[in-house]
Amino acid sequence: LTPSTMAASAMKPFLFQTTRNILSEIGASRKIGELMKKMGCKRVMIVTDKGIDNAGLLSEGISSLHSCSIDTITFKDVVNDPPETLVATAVDMARSFEIDGVVGFGGGSPMDVAKLVAYLAPPKAQSLKSLYGVGNGTSSYRYPLVQVPTTAGTGSEVTPISILTTGENEKKGVVDPVLLPDWALLDPMLTVSLPRHVTAATGIDAMVHAIEAYTSKPKKNPLSDALAALALRLLAGNIVKVCDTPSDLSARLAMLCGSCYAGMAFANAPVAAVHALAYPIGSHFHVPHGLSNSLMLPHVLRFNAQDETALKQYAELAPMMTPSLAHAAAATASNEQLQPKTSISDQKAVEMMIDWLESLSSTLGIETRLREVGISVDDLPLLATEAMKQTRLLPNNPREVTLADAKKLYHAAY
């Protein structure tokens, strides 16, 4: 992040939009009732999943709402890769209960559904089908919306994006600033009970968001760059710690903040080929989104690094993730004398970064190959064909991805 590169980035016109209010503190979820009351809400729908409900994570939030004389109804049927029919069911329930506010409580899927319920439940709202795509909202009105993430990964609490499964296996996105919530509450207490593999996969997912935002071709900007860089420092510096010591609230909050910053970054500098190739893995084989991204990440990085601009950008990020490079950068910045004085090329720095990311997955104990998640070599052509349908994402990649490229990338990941 040199002054010259930052100055060049700042000269480009850009638009940056994000969640209006963010509260980051232990016990933040206890303030849901107070916040919804201030926004005039009296009947609130909580959108979540059965796992969150069964774990008892909703109790303090619901008590907070009831203590503020707010009636609640809980929609707890959200599943991973939620189908559009599920959104219709949630909207019908919301209208029947005559809600005037929504709380999204969970990982990316509950928060994505909550956004759409807040927008589609009001009277005379447009149809979901007319909303797919970028900027297709016809109204600036939605019900008040508070998002409470229970994983440090998706960043959905600060993005104007909702991803649904349409038909049997295809994913489509709704992207519109009207979906940005009023509040995001980052409460590390809600993430302590996460299983190790979920903490690991969602953490790497957040790192992918930051990396892809930093290299996003058309909309890269100085604010997204700064947030992506800060996110990577927090995420890379704490992901092993939270997996090995789940009760470390300081590390948990650092991960939540890193995920949030990465979400703010990619909401304004969109993700690209890693996500484009990960989506078919999730929709066809029901592999969790974070793990799907993790499986494709090193292979897409090597592919993109053949582009000179992308290589330079990755080299800028490398010290934020790779411990040995971070030490060298810190020593240089403080004018310490390295003995002997060395200079690492961009190519070498990026190779070290990718090697570290691959070793991270192994250290955290998550799958590293497509064949380990039930995908056969005969499935790879289908995945490549489906990936090419991600026309919202692929143009953001620093290097063009063809069908032949996609096939090679899946084979590399197999």
Residue 81 confidence (pLDDT): 86
Indicate if the pLDDT at residue 329 is higher than 80.
no
Mean pLDDT of the chain: 93
Indicate if the pLDDT at residue 5 is higher than 90.
no
Residue 167 confidence (pLDDT): 80
Number of helices (H), then strands (E), belonging to the chain: the values are: 16, 9
Residue 339 confidence (pLDDT): 47
Phi and psi at 255, nearest 5°, equal -65, -40
Indicate if the pLDDT at residue 59 is higher than 70.
yes
Residue 169 confidence (pLDDT): 77
Residue 4 confidence (pLDDT): 55
Instruction: For residues 274-302, give the mean pLDDT.
Output: 95
Instruction: For residues 266-275, give the mean pLDDT.
Output: 97
Residue 170 confidence (pLDDT): 81
Q: Are 55 and 70 in contact (CB under 8 A)?
A: no
Look at the chain and count its residues. 414
Task: Kindly report, residue by residue over 185-223, the tens digit of the pLDDT.
Answer: 999 999 999 999 999 999 999 999 999 999 999 999 999
Q: Which of 69-83, 261-275, 321-335 has the lowest mean pLDDT?
A: 321-335
Q: CA angle, corner 12, sides to 9 and 13, nearest 5?
A: 135
Residue 232 confidence (pLDDT): 97
Q: Which of 7-16, 25-34, 257-266, 376-385 has the lowest mean pLDDT?
A: 7-16
Contacts of 337 (CB under 8 A, 6+ apart): none
Tokens found for residue 382: 């289908």
Residue 395 confidence (pLDDT): 97
The whole-angstrom separation of Cα 253 and Cα 45 is 26
The whole-angstrom separation of Cα 3 and Cα 7 is 6
Residue 344 confidence (pLDDT): 81
Q: Are 278 and 288 in contact (CB under 8 A)?
A: no
Share of the chain above pLDDT 90, in %: 87
Indicate if the pLDDT at residue 331 is higher than 70.
no
Nearest partner of 52 among 157, 190, 256, 158, judged by Cα:
190
Distance of CA 48 to the CA centre of its chain: 17
Phi and psi at 26, nearest 5°, equal -65, 130
Task: Kindly report, residue by residue over 97-106, the tens digit of the pLDDT.
Answer: 999 999 999 9
Task: Kindly report, residue by residue over 350-385, the tens digit of the pLDDT.
Answer: 999 999 999 999 999 999 999 999 999 999 999 999
Residue 322 confidence (pLDDT): 82
Nearest partner of 51 among 247, 203, 195, 255, judged by Cα:
195
The whole-angstrom separation of Cα 157 and Cα 180 is 8
Nearest partner of 115 among 159, 74, 155, judged by Cα:
159
Task: Kindly report, residue by residue over 86-142, the tens digit of the pLDDT.
Answer: 999 999 999 999 999 999 999 999 999 999 999 999 999 999 999 999 999 999 999
Per-residue pLDDT band for 341 (boundaries 50, 70, 90) equals very low
The whole-angstrom separation of Cα 306 and Cα 10 is 26
Instruction: For residues 73-98, give the mean pLDDT.
Output: 96
Nearest partner of 231 among 153, 298, 290, 340, judged by Cα:
153
Written as one letter, the residue type at 206 is: A
Q: Are 180 and 118 in contact (CB under 8 A)?
A: no
The whole-angstrom separation of Cα 164 and Cα 109 is 8
Tokens found for residue 302: 């090597």
Contacts of 333 (CB under 8 A, 6+ apart): none
SS3 88: helix
Per-residue pLDDT band for 10 (boundaries 50, 70, 90) equals low
Residue 168 confidence (pLDDT): 77
Residue 1 confidence (pLDDT): 56
Residue 200 confidence (pLDDT): 96
